[in-house]
Amino acid sequence: MAESPSSFSTAQTPQSATSSMIPMYRTPTEILRSHTSPGPGRLLELKLMHHYTASTSQTLADKSAQKVAWQVNIPSIAYDAQYLMDAILAVSALHLRALNPDDQALVRASHGYMASALAQYSSLLRDGGLSEFNAEALFSTSALIAFQASASRGFDDQDQDYVLPLAWFHSFQGVKTMVMASWQWLRNSDRIFPIIGAQPAVMLDFDPDRKSFFSPLLEGMALQLLNEPDHSRFEKKQAYEHSVAFLNWAHQKPERARILGFAATVSRKFVELIGQQDPRALVIISCFFAMTRVCDDVWWLKGVAKREVTGILSLLPQEWWARMEWPLRIANHVGEMDDETWGVNSSAVSVKEEDVDVRSHIDMLAQIMNEQAPPLPPD
């Protein structure tokens, strides 16, 4: 259970509080004014910040420009945003916990700092909203929340009944929403754009006549949706087809940035179908999680493929088991991934990513999403 945010945040902690943790982002004047030694809490925070800049930041991306941004730019933004600093310390603590699983101080720190970050982040969005002055910090915090939600799955009790990783999808959907809502400021941010700009532009192929690698996942869809109301039929069909198109795109070039984009890119309707344990949606996400096997060497993705694919299988009706052959094979594969095991789609259409301007691509998506957003309430 997460510690109270007040245990890790000076914003709401009275001087009489007994917490030993004195956040490192207190000013020197505040520290000198207190008549107590910084103690072990202060040292832990210094350790967490050092570990973040030296190690954790290098695991959050696989491109050099992104790594520099996470290592240098994000901490500099956090100097003026306590919620972002809390999120940094939380993820660093979780990373150290992965290396030292029996250290209970790291468990408490990871939970407590993230609880504090979430409380402040949610309050700011609810009460103040996005602006030019907090867009960078809010985006960075949303991304770290997503990393934490993903990595935390590795610490769940494996003896308990399997629970779908909805937090994974909700958190990455939150990153997408944050980018689109604040894109007018992020697109020109020298500190943030290296992270966003290094992502490949998603170019999906919806040609119904082309036999794609994952097209068998859509077999029987028309019959399944036959008795659905028109609006529901269209929404579900679109959700299935879009998610499968993304799988095909990522499968062509299995890199971390392409694969992990799935959770953020799928539609809100598709995430609802996951929550409803819709069998077709579950088979589709099992293929996504299986793909993470190619980046199993990253600490926050280690074991994801096997854990999630095996768990999803336990939720599926027996008539869907045959469609789990590929994800089960990939998730349980040992050693380097070869083309024969991975599978090759000879009819795939490849797009030269260097010919696609990511900024223009997101410009277009942001315009579409903002036009579809509900109107603001009147003043």
pLDDT tens digits for range 126-172: 887 889 999 999 999 999 999 999 999 888 776 688 999 999 999 99
Q: Is the pLDDT of residue 35 over 80?
A: no
What's the CA gap between 87 and 31, in Å, rounded? 22
Q: Is the pLDDT of residue 14 over 80?
A: no
What's the CA gap between 305 and 327, in Å, rounded? 8
Q: Would you state the pLDDT for residue 377?
A: 39
Residue 155 contacts residue 44 (beta carbons within 8 Å): no
For 119, 220, 311, 345, 351, the CA distances from 211, given in Å and listed in that order, are 47, 15, 29, 9, 17
Identify the CA nearest to 240 among candidates 275, 261, 205, 215: 215
Q: What's the whole-number mean pLDDT along residues 88-96?
A: 97
Q: What's the whole-number mean pLDDT along residues 334-350?
A: 76
State the pTM of this model.
0.83
Q: Is the pLDDT of residue 93 over 90?
A: yes
In the chain, beta strands by DSSP E: none
For 147, 187, 232, the CA distances from 227, given in Å and listed in that order, are 39, 44, 10
Q: What's the whole-number mean pLDDT along residues 357-371?
A: 60
Q: What's the whole-number mean pLDDT along residues 12-40?
A: 39
Q: Would you state the pLDDT for residue 8?
A: 39
Q: Is the pLDDT of residue 117 over 50?
A: yes
- Tally: H helices and E strands in the chain: 19, 0
Q: Is the pLDDT of residue 102 over 50?
A: yes
Lowest mean pLDDT among 31-40, 248-257, 311-320: 31-40
Identify residue 206 by its one-letter amino acid code. Answer: F
